[in-house]
Amino acid sequence: MTSGGAVAGAGRYAPSPSGNLHLGNLRTALVAWLCARTSRRAFRVRVEDLDRARDAGTANQQLDDLSAIGIDWDGAVVYQTDRGASHQAAIRRLDDAGLVYECTCTRREILAAPSAPHGAPGAYPGTCRDRTDAERRAARDRIAPRLPALRLRSPLADLRDGVEFRDVVLGAQRGEVDDLVLQRGDGTVAYNLAVVVDDHGTGVDQVVRGDDLAPSTPRQVMLQRLLGLPTPEYAHVPLVLGPSGARLAKRDGAVTLGELASAGVGPEEVVAVLARSLGLAASGERPTAAALAERFDPSALPSAPWTFSPDALGSDA
């Protein structure tokens, strides 16, 4: 990752308001903030609220929690639902290039269909790809009043050869790209399109996020290329695991700032624990996020998951 002089781009953290942030989310947010600040980038926060069923009040709590551990950001918080015009403009651009088609398949039909010749297991098999105008009209009539989804007509060469990208943490990565959904039948723009458009629209050229999202990155790189957009620098960091070895979750006890505060553990101790998990603090230290930026080396990011134990809180271990 770049260091030294000023960089025109930005890093970001983009939580989905589906629940309060837990220690794993906060750790990833801290790493993203450190990567941006130590490379002289701006830092953005975007709330990925395309699913309107989610509680908007949760987003405010997430922002408060980020502030509580010392994470600040530049400019106003971006809400994905406010960026619909940009999302639709991208779909129109792809459509004008002949890269969009209607799809009336249900999830059950996709799972039951044979795989595409070059697709990975579970990839869209291309059922609706080559329909005639008459066949499309008939399919649309069959599902009315439900509307068809819109899919990307992925170039066949990329379906066969895959898309490669370089990850700061994971190294060289490659993945196949099927005809992914751009817009659902209910009109909601799909995550992969929205994140590509929104990162570019807010000047983001450094994406630091959990490694569970690495498999979706080839799809996003494909969209960037088709839309003529630059590909950001990617760093997918390992997830935080609970005591059982599974991904950290609410079942693992007090794992959110609110729950920890009720147990007498303040944000300063949380930052200290996260810092120790990243090798940025010694036993007994209580560094602030700003202090961590003075000692952060992105090349030394851990490449293995961190297993959280409640014993780590309130101790100097």
* 14 in a labelled binding site: yes
* 209 in a labelled binding site: yes
* 56 in a labelled binding site: no
Q: In one letter, which amino acid is 221?
A: V
Give the Cα-Cα-Cα angle 168, 174, 298 (nearest 5 degrees): 5
* 18 in a labelled binding site: no
* 103 in a labelled binding site: yes
- Burial of residue 222 (number of CB atoms within 10 Å: 0-12, 13-18, 19+): buried
**Strand locations in 177-292, DSSP E?**
181-183, 206-210, 233-237, 240-241
Cβ-contact 209, 15 below 8 angstroms = no
* 35 in a labelled binding site: no
**Strand locations in the chain, DSSP E?**
10-13, 42-47, 78-79, 100-103, 149-152, 163-167, 171-175, 181-183, 206-210, 233-237, 240-241, 306-307
- CA torsion, ordered 63, 231, 148, 98, to nearest 10 deg: 150
| Closest CA relative to residue 315, chosen from 283, 274, 292, 287 | 283
* 15 in a labelled binding site: yes
| Closest CA relative to residue 150, chosen from 121, 177, 179 | 179
* 128 in a labelled binding site: yes
* 16 in a labelled binding site: yes
**Annotated binding residues:** 12-16, 48, 103, 105, 124, 128, 191, 209, 250
**Annotated binding residues for Zn(2+):** 103, 105, 124, 128
**Annotated binding residues for ATP:** 250
**Annotated binding residues for L-glutamate:** 12-16, 48, 191, 209
